[in-house]
Chain A
Amino acid sequence: MTRLEYPFSEKAIRALKAGENVSITGRLYTGRDRFHKHFADGKPIPVDFRDGALYHCGPVVVKEGGEWRVKAAGPTTSVRENPYEPAFIAASGVRLVLGKGGMDSATLEAMRRYGCVYVQAVGGAAALAAASVRRVADVSLLEEFGAAEAIWHFDVVDFRGVVAMDSNGNSLFAKVAQDSLANYRRMTGNEMV
């Protein structure tokens, strides 16, 4: 397990390889559909993503005794942000994108070019992800986007994931899809698929 701490240096990020387990400590900012649309519309992004991490997550956060408490913080499917992510990576200097399911080849290329990786969080493991958020430092665009879409500033400890797309153009998703299809063909004697 490789430990990563915010701020994430380009050197540390470029050293990561697809298939490596990571434990992340420090600041994560959440952002999903509304956030990416906001960016694409050219509106100002209220936080600095340089050497930072973007988490595709629509958490359940409630206010208890004047403090934000995270009840669930599992990843959401990243593929919906494909159209926006290459430009966001180029403009923001973000080093880690976390989510589930992986992203497309244009995003992989942007990651290679600018020094960024995609980390697969464990789908469904919402309780543990929530527990790794030790503090909600702040929230941005809450009024405009609502709680599930807002930019939450999470300070996490030991947030676990797997580097699924690295900055050398390798995608574990693509490799597994290709290998499993070859295995299926061999098992079924079926060359048509």
Chain B
Amino acid sequence: MDAAGMIVSLVRDASTSLPADVEFALKKAVRREAKDSPARMIVKTILDNCALARKESVPLCQDTGTLTFFVSDSLKRRFTRRAIERGVAAATAKGYLRKNCIDSVSGVSHDDNCAPGAPVIHYCEKPGVTLLMKGGGSENMSRQYSLPDSSLGAGRDMEGVRKCILDAVVKAQGYGCAPGILGVCIGGDRATGFETAKEQLLRSLDASSSDPRLAKLERHILRDANSLGIGPMGLGGKTTLLGVKIASRPRVPASFFVTVAYMCWACRRRTILP
């Protein structure tokens, strides 16, 4: 199969099949929520939806999102922008993607989901080709904080970082299609903050940070967020987040950013190793 054909398969699988670790986390959530509660009904509905989408090979969510590809440097001659765009256009024609790409000035749709800057492609050191699909509802709930933040009483320490991350969860309520997953970057500049936070969403839910300090923070934020009572779709319950993935980047002395990328339950990611 040529590179464009492999991209079509990658898009189809990512769009129609929720990753196993996310589905497993949702199944655990069903058992945690009270019988007959809205929370339990919503998570069961999500699981039924995902089983149906996989069986019928249809998008599991109608917002097929921003497409971000991470391509290994060693594959850049095969997986060129042109080849990836051909694959995305073909996947759109087959109905695996909604027409989801709007010219920001004219308001006109790029019907094949391809335009300068779309899809997003990062050539990097990660092995293989990875696709992340992130919907707009959740992207609208992502936030960046600059410490110190007097409105939150958040200083330049790990307690300040914790206050920011939990504030992002409270502000998101159910609007980002909870239960969500957080990708967080402590530090960096504004641009690398968002980029690094989003990249954390590629980590499997069962992969803790290799830095024991961050692994501990991930555990504590997950526990605290799930005690807030927001729950699936913001209608109350014990499952507000399915996972928290934190990384840190160096900063300059004058800046201290905390960046939170909010991902909905429909965390569509997939890697192929051609």
Contact = CB atoms under 8 A, between A and B. Distances in A.
Interface of A: 1, 19, 21, 60, 71-74, 77, 100-101, 120, 122-131, 160, 162, 164, 172-173, 175-177, 179-181, 183-184, 187-188, 190, 192-193
A74 B62 contact: yes
Interface string B132-161: 000101000000000000111100000000
Nearest to B42: A122
A191 to B, nearest CB: 8
Interface residues of B, number: 48
B38 interface: yes
B234 A127 contact: no
Contacts of B264: 123-124
Given A19-B235, A124-B266, A184 B166 contact: yes
B183 interface: no
Interface stretch (B85-93, B198-206, B224-232): B224-232
Of the candidates A72, A73, A74, A122, the one having the most CB atoms from chain B within 10 angstroms of its own CB is: A122
B120 interface: no
A41 B177 CA distance: 32
B46 interface: yes
A128 B175 contact: no
Nearest to B58: A127
Contact of B61 (A124, A160, A183): A124
A162 B152 contact: no
Interface in B42-76: 42, 45-46, 48-50, 52-53, 56, 58-63
Contacts of B228: 180, 183-184, 187
B166 A173 contact: no
A21 B227 contact: no
Nearest to A57: B62
Contacts of A77: 137, 175
A40 to B, nearest CB: 22
Contact of A127 (B60, B229, B236): B60
A21 B236 contact: no
Given A101-B174, A127-B49, A187 B227 contact: yes
A125 B207 CA distance: 27
A122 B46 contact: yes
B59 A126 contact: yes
A192 B231 CA distance: 24
B136 to A, nearest CB: 10
Contacts of A179: 229, 236
Contacts of B190: none
B233 interface: yes
B81 interface: no
A101 B175 contact: yes
B152 A193 contact: yes
Contacts of B137: 77, 123-124
B98 A127 contact: no
A65 to B, nearest CB: 16
B45 A183 contact: no
Nearest to B150: A192
Contacts of B113: none
B262 interface: no
